[in-house]
Amino acid sequence: MSKTKRLVLLALLVAMAAALHVLESQLPIPVPVPGVKLGLANIISLLAILMLGWQDAVYVAVARVLLGSLFGGSLLGPSFVMSMGGALASIFVMVYISKNYQGVFSLAGISLVGAAVHNITQVILAALLVYSAGLLWYLPYLLLFAVPTGLFTGLAANYCFAKSPAKYGLKN
């Protein structure tokens, strides 16, 4: 793929991920556990892993959190720290699994693990930010929702990738 095409694809993925990040922060999710999100921007992170490779996937994740937090008004606040930490931890774990366990995990499985890692990282960071290990009791409830949301985003990414012309070998 030419550098120009790669840059255009990267810019499109960042824009879509940032838009989904902001959109999702505005959506009320009718569940009894506060803080549960669908992880829609993770669809784009998974596509970046498949289409461009790990370095660009990390770039998409970082740019998404930066832009989404900037547009959402939370740049450099506690939610930004938790979002960036969760995004980085989950993208690195998803990249690791996709490279080292290819054929063992489906895209939905990779996404599920990424959702769980994201939640674990965010709860640990929240506990550190407020100096309270009591927040760790919140983790099992979040992980219950990580399963369906992780599966959903993985299946959505799989569907999008199957319909994408990028599946025909954009990754170098």
Report yes or no on whether pTM surpasses 0.85: yes
Compute the mean pLDDT over every residue in the chain, rounded to the nearest whole number.
Answer: 89
Kindly list the structural domains of the chain, giving each domain's residue range(s) and its CATH number in brackets, ordered by start: 3-168 (1.10.1760.20)
CA 140 to chain centre: 19
DSSP-derived secondary structure letter, 40: T
Look at residue 166 in the predicted model and tell me its pLDDT. Answer: 60
Query: What confidence category does residue 33 fall into, taking pLDDT thresholds of 50, 70 and 90?
Result: confident
| Rounded (10°) angle between helices 107-129 and 41-51 | 120
Residues 67-108: pLDDT tens digits?
Answer: 988 988 888 888 899 999 999 999 999 999 999 988 889 999
Rounded distance, CA 160 to CA 140, Å? 30
Half-sphere exposure of 120 (CA within 13 A, CB side): 11
Among 53, 128, 46, 52, smallest CA distance to 87 is for 46
